[in-house]
Each structure stands twice: as C-alpha cells, then as structure tokens.
Amino acid sequence: MKSKIHIVMRNDLVILPPMQSLITVLLEKGVQVHFLGKCSDIERKSYFARLGVVFEDVIYTPQDKIYKTLLEQIRYRRLLKQYLSVNMNNDTDIIWFEYSDMAYIVYDIFKNYDYLIHFYEFQNLKYSWKFQLMYHRYSMVDFVKTAKAVIHCEYNRAHITRGLCALKSLPFVLPNKPYPDDIDFSNTPSEVFDLVDSLKRKIVDKKVILYQGIFAPNERRLDEFCDAIEQMSNEYVLIAMGHGGKYFEDLKKKYASVKIIFIPFIKSPYHLLVTQLAHVGVLSYFPLNGSYAGVLNPLYCAPNKIFEYSKFGIPMLSNDLPGLRSMYLEYGCGEIVQYPITPNSIVNALLRIFNNYENYSKGAHHFYSSVDFKGIVSEILNSL
C-alpha cells in the first residue's frame, strides 16, 4: 500500500464533496495527503490542514482566451514537473488524478510516475484542433490503460470505460457516498438556522418534495415538476434549493408561491438541514445530444444526492434513466417517470410513492447502508 498520495485536481475541492470524503478516509488510514489544486473555502481548507493535508501551490487556473490558456498550461506544467521531481517517490507514493480535460496537459508528465485515474464525470474524447497541435501524442486510451488503477463512481460507467479502453479488469466502483456518516452541524452559520426555522413554519403538516442541485434549463429541467405540484392539493409543497443563475430566477419568477419555495445555495453539509425535512427527493437529468459526455453522464448519473436523500430514508423520483432505474428496482427506493414526461405522469408517480411510503423509505435506508465507502477505499489502497 502506498503511504503518500498526491491528489491532482482541476476542479475546486469545494464543489466535489466526494473528494472531501475520500481525503477523510485516506487520513483515517494513515496516508499522507498532498493536495495539488484549488480549495476556495478557507474554513474547509483550514479544517483539512489541521488534520494533516498539505496544500501545495500547484494550481491550474482556467483562462478565457486561447493565448492566456496556452501560457497557463505552460506555467502549470512547469510547476507540476518541478513538484513531482522533488516530492514523488514511486516506491511509496502515487498520484491520484481527478480525470478532467486537463488530462492532455499532464499525461506525458505522469508517464514517469505511478498514478491512478479517478473519473467523476466522462469528458468528451475530442479536443480542439489548436490543442491537438500542441498535444498530438495524447491518447485517452493509452493514458487510462497505463494507470495503476482506474476508479469510477458508477457501475455502468465503469463498464463503458473498460470497453472503450480495452481494460483487462473492471475499474473500481467508488460511489459518491458522503463520509463520515455523522454530520457535524455545530458550526452552522446563524443565517442558515434562521432560514431553516422560517422554512419549517411554512411546511407544517405538508408533504415536502425537494429538488437540490444546480439549475440548468436543458440537463436539469424542472418545469414539469413545478407544474405537477401546482396541480396537486395544498398538502404538497415543492422546495427547490441550489445554485442560482438565470434558470433559477426564471423558475422563481414563474412559479414561486406558498406551494413552490425557492432557496439559494447552502454550503455543504449545512444544506442537509433542509434535506432532512423532505419526504421525496427529485432527481432530474436529461441527456444533451451532440456529445458523448453530454449523453452518458446524465444517463448513468451518480449524484451525491442519492445518498443525501437515502441517508434520511427519503424515496426518490426521477425521469427514466438506466442508472437510477436499476437502483430503484433493486432496492425499491424510488419511482421513474417515463417519457414523454408530463405533469400528470409526475403526479401519478408521487402518489404511488406516498401510497406505499413506508416501504419506499425502508428501501432508501437499505440502499444507503449497502455501500461501504471506507471499505472500497481500503480495497483500492491494498491493490496499489
């Protein structure tokens, strides 16, 4: 087992709670963790630093213009090379790479070291011709095949990658389950407590349907869900919580009422104070035609919120997606709405859940307890 791990990320650690869970387990296993990436949450960064994580000043900063992007790539590659040449020991260390469109920048640097690849999302296979000129030797298949281990967060995605890259064995499947199970609300900001108290007064004796996540008019469409709640009796309330933007404001302008309540983004884990008030959790993932990643990521989605819902025994409702459908069938923890999606079909699915609520809730608890996140991480570490 490797004793030191160098995590290389393009994305901000704040927006990837599963990576935070992973770091927590690694520290509990006695592994030294060096983090090469951005963490914009000062409170969270200080917390991990106190636990022993070393935050290295090797950060990739995306740029908006092509020439600035190229200069940033040159700068980042130089820093990464210097860092690894000084700090990386193949006998005891491994690079834990969060797969992203940064792969073509780092692949030739990593070939001199032991590394594993952790997929949280698929990325499109083709890059612009400008980058292909600079990084024409990059091959996603070769990059993945030479990794010491490959990790996916969803079973079907693991099989797709095995097929695409002709891997000899199935990648590890490490679901995006939060860790640890216990939630510390002791440092909850007062404004969050005030918001939750106000919300509780609005939903007394109501059946609460919750959507939490980002708001996007195509991939995360919610219009039909809002229309469905408007059709139902006053006993039912929809709470929509998450990152704003134009679509959030458009929905709010069109639907906001005593039955449909909009709440802005609340930082993890404090958003779970709202989550635990729900009776049904909504998942909305629609494929975006025209790209490999835009289709596969929604079809075989692996959202954190399936665990955030199921932790509290909250049944789930979603559009028809093969990844979620198989979970619902195995654990009896949710219902799909088949295409074409209409407000009436959503209403009928909700009524099916509420008419047999206790069994759906038990199924959600069963699903949550079926995943041993720490055990899977141990299995991965022991394989290295």
- CATH number for position 50: 3.40.50.2000
The token duo for 330 is: 């195995």
Domain with 320 in it: 190-370
The Cα 178–Cα 191 span in angstroms is: 24
- AA identity, residue 16: L
The pTM of this model reads 0.93
Whether 71 maps to a domain, the answer reads: yes
Tokens found for residue 282: 């909504």
Q: Which residues pair with 150 in a beta bridge?
A: 117
DSSP 13: G
Domain count, the chain: 2
Picking from 257, 197, 217, 259, the residue whose alpha carbon sits closest to that of residue 234 is 259
- Whether residues 265 and 158 share a domain: the answer is no
The answer as to whether 382 is a domain residue is no
> Region 25-31: what's the mean pLDDT?
98
Domain boundary pick from 146, 174, 202: 174
Question: Exposed (0-12), middle (13-18) or buried (19+): which is 190, by Cβ within 10 Å?
Answer: exposed
Q: Would you state the structure tokens that stand for residue 117, as one six-digit string?
A: 């690849």
Give the model confidence (pLDDT) of 160-184 as tens digits.
Answer: 999 999 999 999 999 999 999 988 8
Q: Is residue 181 part of a domain?
A: no
In a domain? residue 48? yes
State the pLDDT at residue 1.
84
Q: Each residue of 283-305: pLDDT tens digit?
A: 999 998 878 899 999 999 989 99
